[in-house]
Amino acid sequence: MQRRTVLKGGVSLLAAAGAPMVARAQAPKSIRIGYAVSLSGPYAPGAQSTTWSQYKLWAKDVNDAGGIFLKKHDRKVPIELIDYDDRSQIEEAIRLVERLILNDKVDLVLPPWGTATNLATAPVFNKHEYPAIHYTASAMRVRQLGPRWPYSFWALVQPDNGTEPLAAMCAQLKKEGKIKGRIAIMHVADQLGVEMATAMVDACKKAAVEVVYNKSYPLGVSDLQPQIREVMALEPDAFFCFSYPTDTFMVTEQAQVVGFSPPIFYTGVGTPFPAYVAKFGAKKNGVLLYGAVDTTAPGQKEYIERHKAMFNRGVEIGSIGTYGTLQILQKAIEQVGEIDRKKIRDAIASGTFETIADVYTFKDQVHQTAWAVGQWQGDEVVGIYPADKRGAKPLMFPKPKW
């Protein structure tokens, strides 16, 4: 017993002798990273598969590799996750982010799930100067918020650059004489749906294509067939539905039932989900959708296998994109070499990051060249627009009949 104590003392003395070893002794035991994500309530389905599971998988991947390398301490430091459930309540999310920062004193906080929750918690991140790369948020407002919220970064495509390529595509097809250029728009009466539809109408006006129909339906609608019939009677050759998962499934199924099969068929959130594949099988071929990832990005195949092994389910572009933002954070920390939030923020703001989803750069804190439009081609969602991005595939036109 005594000998052991002496031995221990000797070891620590030895450790104190060399300078790099001192630094090693001072290195934190772990990098403490907190987050509040909806694990119950109406946001839970989306939050679990797109956000929460990616945080878990990323932490496991990082820790399996020994941790994040901190130059300052010359060693790898593992991640410790502190997680809370915001119960799909925005006030709760705000409280929890504040709690993580003030009570738990975590080193970093990861953003929550959903546009509204991200916009509501962003002021807290910025007040305490915690950098956050918001992925599941898309709203026109984020473009104006840049200077006010310097610690917030927005990685997803936003309503304006998410719809401009769609209008340009219709204008181009019209010029080539492939379509008459009659556009029908349906959208869910929720912030994202309304903003996308508004941006789309503006973009169509600029591109001189005719919008023959533009109406909303409420969230939680149980039947869209009458509306689809109305659209069908107008004989549009391009159909855009800025929808949420339940209505995405509904509009696709009901369009098939009534035989509405325009050459351009676009649906919103939910289209890349595994459930969409399970439900529609080969009929999904040619359907256009919101956002995409670069399927040629290095590491993506391995990620999909690790995801499958951990959760026993397939991935969707949202989960790949979220994981990508975690890689940005990791790379920024490694560049800085220590947990200095100001420096990490600057590294994110100025860097170019190769991830499994995309190559990310932020200008005015927004990823300006984010993937806007994807398409089901065979069994894969491929990126179509912006067409000049790495991994972009040509548009499949016309969509095969149902």
Partner 1 sequence: MVLFEAILSGVLVGGMYGLIALGLNLQYGIARMMNLAYGETLMGGAFTAFWFLTLWRIDPLASLLFSVPVAFCGNWLIYRYLLTPLVRRAANRDVLEADTILVTFGLLFVFQGVALVQWGGEYRGYTYLAVPVHVLGATVALNRVLAFVAAVALALALYWLLRATRLGGALRAIAIDPVAAQLVAIDVPRLSALAFAAGGAIMAVAGTLVSMFLSFNASIGIVYTLKALIVVIMGGVGRMLGCLAAGLILGVAEALGAYLVDPGLTLAINFALFLLVLLVRPQGLFSRG
Interacting residue ranges for partner 1, rule: CB under 8 A:
39-42, 44-49, 186, 189, 215-223, 225-227, 229-230, 233, 245-246, 249-250, 253-254, 256-259, 270, 273-276, 278-281, 311, 313
Separation of alpha carbons 35 and 83, rounded Å: 5
Residue 397 Cβ vs partner 1, minimum distance, rounded to whole Å:
25
HSE-up (13 A, CA, CB side) for residue 163: 29
**Which residue, 107 or 316, has its beta carbon nearer to partner 1?**
316
Helix (H) or strand (E) holding 350: helix 341-350
End-to-end CA distance of the chain: 78
Residue 271 Cβ vs partner 1, minimum distance, rounded to whole Å:
11
Angle ∠(214,220,226) on CA atoms, nearest 5: 50
**Which residue, 245 or 263, has its beta carbon nearer to partner 1?**
245
**Which residue, 240 or 280, has its beta carbon nearer to partner 1?**
280
- Name residue, tokens 């738990």: 104
**Which residue, 311 or 397, has its beta carbon nearer to partner 1?**
311
Separation of alpha carbons 154 and 164, rounded Å: 18
Q: Which residues pair with 210 in a beta bridge?
A: 182
Question: How many of the other CB atoms lie within 10 Å of CB of 128?
Answer: 15
Residue 113 Cβ vs partner 1, minimum distance, rounded to whole Å:
11
Amino acid at 309: A
Residue 186 Cβ vs partner 1, minimum distance, rounded to whole Å:
8
Helices (H), ranges, 184-297: 191-206, 225-233, 245-258, 274-280
**Which residue, 125 or 249, has its beta carbon nearer to partner 1?**
249
**Which residue, 254 or 325, has its beta carbon nearer to partner 1?**
254
**Which residue, 223 or 302, has its beta carbon nearer to partner 1?**
223
Residue 124 Cβ vs partner 1, minimum distance, rounded to whole Å:
25
Helix (H) or strand (E) holding 375: strand 373-377
Strands 352-354 and 359-361: antiparallel
**Which residue, 108 or 197, has its beta carbon nearer to partner 1?**
197
Please, what is the angle between helix 341-350 and helix 317-336, to 10°?
120
Residue 317 Cβ vs partner 1, minimum distance, rounded to whole Å:
14
Residue 103 Cβ vs partner 1, minimum distance, rounded to whole Å:
26
Amino acid at 62: V
Residue 126 Cα distances to 120, 121, 368, angstroms: 11, 9, 21
Residue 159 Cβ vs partner 1, minimum distance, rounded to whole Å:
18
